[in-house]
Amino acid sequence: MVTMAPHRSLRLLLASAIASGIAATSLTAGHPAQADEGDKAVLTVAVSQSVDSLSPFLAQRLVSTSIHRLTYEYLTNYDVKDARPIPGLATAWKASPDKLTWTYTIRTNSTWSDGKKATAEDAAWTFNKMMTDDNAATANGSYTANFEKVTAPDPRTLVIKLKKPQATMTALDVPIVPKHIWETVGDFSKFNNDKQFPIVGNGPFIITDYRVDQYVRLKPNKTFWRGAPKFDELVLRYYKDGDAAVAALRKGEVSFVPNLTPAQAASLKSAEDIKVNDAPGRRFYALATNPGARSKDGKKFGNGHPALLDPAVRKALFLAVDRKTIVDKVFQGHAVEGEGYIPPRFASYFWKPQGAQKLAHDPARAERMLDEAGYRKNSGGKRVGKDGRPLDFRILCHATDPNDKAVGKYLQEWWGKLGIGLKVECLDNVSDPWLKGDYDLAFDGWSVNPDPDYVLSIHTCAALPATPKDTGATDNFICDKRYDELYAKQAVEYDPAKRAQLVKQLQSRLYDTGYMNVMAYPNAVEAYRTDHIRSITTMPQAAGNLWGQDGYWSWWSAQPAASGDDQDSGSSAGLLIGAGSAAALLLAAGIAFAVRRRSTADDRE
């Protein structure tokens, strides 16, 4: 979903209730979350996005999926150097000759934080639950939609039988949960996993406490098979205002701040004990158009402006958008002009329009297109449709994102010259009107995974909600037959080069429909205190990001500044599995390789 996600009891173990000395009151308003509270090294990360759910079956926002990467193992992980699949809960995998049966070997040294062994049965239960309960498939159902049968013949063996080949079998971005805990849950659509702590997991961290729009607290999992994190506690602390987060970083109240504005980054570059990281990002920043909200049962809902159902209107709007100005003036060079749906960081899938297909900045052409389509200006200079209704649109804007507000002002100016009105509606919560289809346009954005299947799937007809009252996995209600045909083809194509071409065709089709206008690929601009963090791993290791990684490398690898470990202090120090050791591990395992998700800056996955 867009910059939002579905907002959705379980007997979780209360165990030693905040056993590691974590007091629920230690992060109340006004309490400085410093790098070292007494003898405890605390890593505090400022976040600007609300958690949509702590249930892995519902969560779609980047902050939530990042937390789940820290607390649950996936079958596979991504190599920190080049994002190739590497072992996670599975140590090895192989496909049958017809590619319809995949067998995963589950590691023997992964333990749930309540002491029970993690087994293939946990993975089989997770996938089967998603296959049989639509509510459990809310966040990641696209991964299991093609599964025919999932079994665990023994604790170390997971077998997945497919209806047809599936190209994502080494990139199933699904958190595996403990069966013995989750099988007691009733309604998966309402269970947010946020009432009892600590939460049982098997990742490098354990969630110990959570307060809505305040913080999430995590402690190291001392039994994590790859080794425990070095900080004594990780805190994700919510800041609605970005300047307040930067001020907290300057004062040492937080250790790390992501999603910096250009002005904030510039002001921090000369600050003592603060390092700014500016790297190519994995996100796109776009305008999404309401194509007419509808559900799978054929019901239409919402109040989107009908003129936006006309391709001529959508394309005219996009012709009036000056991407270069957005990159230069709004992002001040900390971004690349947007073109296709997949950012250039993922080179094999990157696509851009060529020749006559490209909707370059051309206001004069936009004027002509609107005139020819019958949307002429009246005596007052307003564009009106054939029904006499003026072209006055609304755009959903995230109140916490200064980029939305800045771009909104430019759009008002550019579209105003066309005779089109625009109301910029900046809200703390854009999810509710978005899910209801009560919008015309919206600022949109997703972080793209190394395998792009997930962000492609959210524009398929299958992602629509079942009924207007339900929540689907859709981004903005797009349902296009040609797009669906291309998506189905890439999903079963195992040849990397052929699949990449199909993914590019998908982007071309999405571009031509005019429902998504990718304006920019923002850099990951972030900063951390070097007197809190001695070393930390970026992904990719060469010029990569720290927040929102495809894995848990940054926070798992982070070394406290007071650490006595003799390790290099570079940005990629402290990672136990680098290029060499990862390759050695993969060779030893005999692995064959085959070549997810939302909202503004920090809002989606």
- Domain end position, chosen among 135, 153, 183: 183
Same domain, 466 and 377: yes
Same domain, 289 and 221: no
308 falls within a domain: yes
Number of domains in the chain: 3
Same domain, 294 and 276: no
CATH number at residue 107: 3.90.76.10
Same domain, 353 and 381: yes
- Domain end position, chosen among 183, 213, 246: 183
Same domain, 510 and 533: no
68 falls within a domain: no
Mean pLDDT per block of 10 residues along the chain (605 residues) reads 32 31 32 53 95 96 95 97 95 96 98 98 98 94 96 98 96 97 96 96 98 97 97 97 96 97 95 96 95 95 96 97 97 95 95 95 97 94 91 95 95 98 95 95 94 94 93 92 97 95 98 96 97 96 91 97 54 35 34 34 42
Same domain, 477 and 357: yes
Peptide bond into 165 cis (omega under 30): no
Nearest alpha carbon to residue 489 among 477, 472, 505: 505
Residues 6+ apart with CB under 8 A from 387: none
Same domain, 33 and 90: no
Residue 384 is predicted with a pLDDT of: 95
189 falls within a domain: no
Task: Kindly state the greatest CA–CA separation across the chain.
Answer: 76
Residue 563 is predicted with a pLDDT of: 63
Could you tell me the two tokens for 64?
């939530």
CATH number at residue 269: 3.40.190.10
586 falls within a domain: no
Residue 605 is predicted with a pLDDT of: 45
582 falls within a domain: no
Q: What is the rounded distance in angstroms from the CA atom of residue 353 to the CA atom of residue 339?
A: 7
59 falls within a domain: no
Same domain, 214 and 168: no
The helix (run of H) or strand (run of E) holding residue 76 is strand 76-78
117 falls within a domain: yes
Same domain, 371 and 500: yes
Residue with tokens 């849950």: 185
Could you tell me the two tokens for 96?
């049958």
Residue 577 is predicted with a pLDDT of: 32
Q: What is the rounded distance in angstroms from the CA atom of residue 243 to the CA atom of residue 253?
A: 13
Beta bridge partners, 161, equal 101, 149
Residue 70 is predicted with a pLDDT of: 98
Which residues span the domain enclosing 132? 73-183
Residue 38 is predicted with a pLDDT of: 58
Same domain, 259 and 289: no
528 falls within a domain: yes
CATH number at residue 352: 3.10.105.10
Same domain, 212 and 320: no
Residue with tokens 């996955």: 605
Same domain, 167 and 30: no
Region label for 590, one of left (φ > 0), alpha (ψ between -120 and 50) or beta (otherwise): left
Looking at residue 98, its amino acid is: D
